[in-house]
Structure 1
């Protein structure tokens, strides 16, 4: 039993690929010590570099066919108009056919700015959308204005209150409290009273709006209530024409413009951009190509972030009365791309990291050992040549 076991052990020892040498047979040299130090430093440096690469999160991007079925496109914006009073400015959106996008879900605010561009008032909710877009909207239609609502202040159901003053008198006759902010006929007068040619006032308009998914435009232009002011006699149509072309300077600062939620690493091309128009009578047009984007986090517990990127080109069109080229404003024409971008966070696998570390350690040990052997042979040859002399 003991003899058989010894044979098995002898056979096992013969398979040893790492034979050991006795301490008395080992020769330690200076160049060998230097090679060992170099090997240790190289191994430590390469190990740290590999560990850094292993722990680092990389973002891999790819393009696929857009298969999303979202019906709306959320736009976030924050824009400053330094020369347009808030009471003159409005927002609207249209589809590709030129029709207004009805029942828009929006959360938009306007804040007055002083001459230096600083906040001059608290933000107010911008509830009524609608803009003037064509020159014919500035001319007198020659139609008799429709019968204005008296809000129940007249006993005669057919009575008309076409001006703010008529509504105020009707309220006084009834003994009711009069609140002009709630009366439609008083809004044009409110707008005109806020326009002071000697006061430089600007407007910061910000918020978000949900648009149709495929394509269309949204724009900032003179509000429709200006036309209502002219039709109600609060101002003449010539004054409206002058106000629209001469007083509507579209120079603007875009603090942010984003289509969807923010995701890591994105840089919107129009963020913190300024555009100045010297004559004011211009239509600034941005043509935006929107690319649906999905961001996938390394932590699968986090929900994928669905948003959009975009590229943009721009054009300034100068408009003048009688040119038929439209009214001053800032327009954003958008089109959604059929291609979708996907960004995914990845990291090197543990097994791959272990294999890389083993390859690094083994490779450095082998190369340094080979170099040490070459140096040793060279030293022995030099030593032998000296003895022969």
Structure 2
């Protein structure tokens, strides 16, 4: 144990080490290592605080945010689908500086849809032609006001198929779809997006899926970075059956619609970490405190042992 003595005592010009002092020095090494490790873990760990409050000011509706859309219809042709946008503010354009594209599904998208809750089977595709699958993707800038957009069967195709009856409709149409991604603003990795990787397999083949989205503004603050704005989504879903669509005529077509609105609430997500200089100071305090304490205890015990030996 003598080789672990960190407090050698000079005795008549000779450094003396003892087993007792070496034992306490070893204990000091272990305690200091554990405390230093705990300080390092605490420094690396990021503290997260979230607060919800009412927005301080009304957002300018002329400001826009990016909306990313990526949806696949494995049983439909692109010519049979239509896109439509509406805004709650009639004097505002619904989308600006962006575009959503209709294209054929690629192999990766087909693989994803095949492994989803519905199989990629063309036996119930539109009778007007062999369906190869259609994907709608792109980014558009939408105003910070409520609105909706929809991806549905065109009125001409829907009207022609509706005339054939329910049985023919079920054989000739399947609007099952897969939502790869639907994101407002920049994506934030720690926030779960309920509108990502959503598979909607429609058993009847015909129906309208309606998503009601509440968009929640969120301010992010990370250590050493500027604040960044993103948006979280709260979602509810409902389904309109084929019989209801047939009664509405051309007022509603099968497909999927997204109704969205912005909440007046603001979520503040703040991440903080201990200051580096404070971390260095804590390390110095740990090392100094451990060695001073061990030195005092060890010195007292060594001195007491020496006094006992002299009495003997």
Normalised TM-score (structure 2): 0.71
Which residue pairs with 2:154 in the alignment? 223
**Matches of 2:37 and 2:9 in 1, distance apart?**
34
Which residue pairs with 2:282 in the alignment? 356
Correspondence 1:23 to 2:10: yes
* CA displacement at 1:330 relative to structure 2: 1.1
8 A Cα contact 1:59 1:344, kept in partner: yes
Indicate which of 210, 233, 240 corresponds to 1:310: 233
Correspondence 1:92 to 2:84: yes
The answer to which of 269-278 and 342-351 deviates more is 342-351
8 A Cα contact 1:250 1:329, kept in partner: yes
Indicate which of 168, 174, 181 corresponds to 1:256: 181
Correspondence 1:285 to 2:210: yes
- Which structure has the larger Rg? 1
8 A Cα contact 1:282 1:316, kept in partner: yes
**Matches of 2:230 and 2:240 in 1, distance apart?**
31
Residues 224 and 283 from structure 1, CA distance in 2 versus in 1: closer, same or farther, beyond 3 angstroms?
A: closer
* CA displacement at 1:259 relative to structure 2: 0.5
Residues 36 and 277 from structure 1, CA distance in 2 versus in 1: closer, same or farther, beyond 3 angstroms?
A: same
Which residue pairs with 1:205 in the alignment? 136
**Matches of 1:270 and 1:350 in 2, distance apart?**
39
Matches within 5 A, 1:375-386: none
Matches within 5 A, 1:1-389: 23-24=10-11, 28-51=17-40, 53-54=42-43, 58-66=47-55, 67=57, 69-71=59-61, 72-96=64-88, 102=93, 104-105=95-96, 106-113=98-105, 118=110, 196=127, 199-224=130-155, 226=157, 238=163, 247-300=172-225, 304-320=227-243, 322-324=246-248, 326-365=252-291, 368-369=294-295, 372=298
8 A Cα contact 2:94 2:142, kept in partner: no
**Matches of 1:242 and 1:94 in 2, distance apart?**
33
* CA displacement at 1:308 relative to structure 2: 0.8
Cα deviation per residue 1:233-252 (whole Å; 9 max; x = unaligned)?
Answer: xx687259998776442321
Secondary structure at the residue paired with 1:250? Answer: coil
Alignment length (residue pairs): 283
Cα deviation per residue 1:133-157 (whole Å; 9 max; x = unaligned)?
Answer: xxxxxxxxxxxxxxxxxxxxxxxxx
Residues 197 and 322 from structure 1, CA distance in 2 versus in 1: closer, same or farther, beyond 3 angstroms?
A: closer
Give unmatched runs, 5+ long, in structure 2.
1-6, 112-124
Which residue pairs with 1:11 in the alignment? none
Cα deviation per residue 1:38-57 (whole Å; 9 max; x = unaligned)?
Answer: 21233234324424543565
8 A Cα contact 1:245 1:327, kept in partner: no
Residues 100 and 85 from structure 1, CA distance in 2 versus in 1: closer, same or farther, beyond 3 angstroms?
A: farther
Secondary structure at the residue paired with 1:214? Answer: coil
Cα deviation per residue 1:264-289 (whole Å; 9 max; x = unaligned)?
Answer: 43332221222211112222122222
| Structure with greater proportional strand content | 2
**Matches of 1:319 and 1:334 in 2, distance apart?**
24
The answer to which of 321-330 and 204-213 deviates more is 321-330
Give unmatched runs, 5+ long, in structure 1.
1-19, 120-193
Secondary structure at the residue paired with 1:364? Answer: helix
8 A Cα contact 1:90 1:220, kept in partner: yes
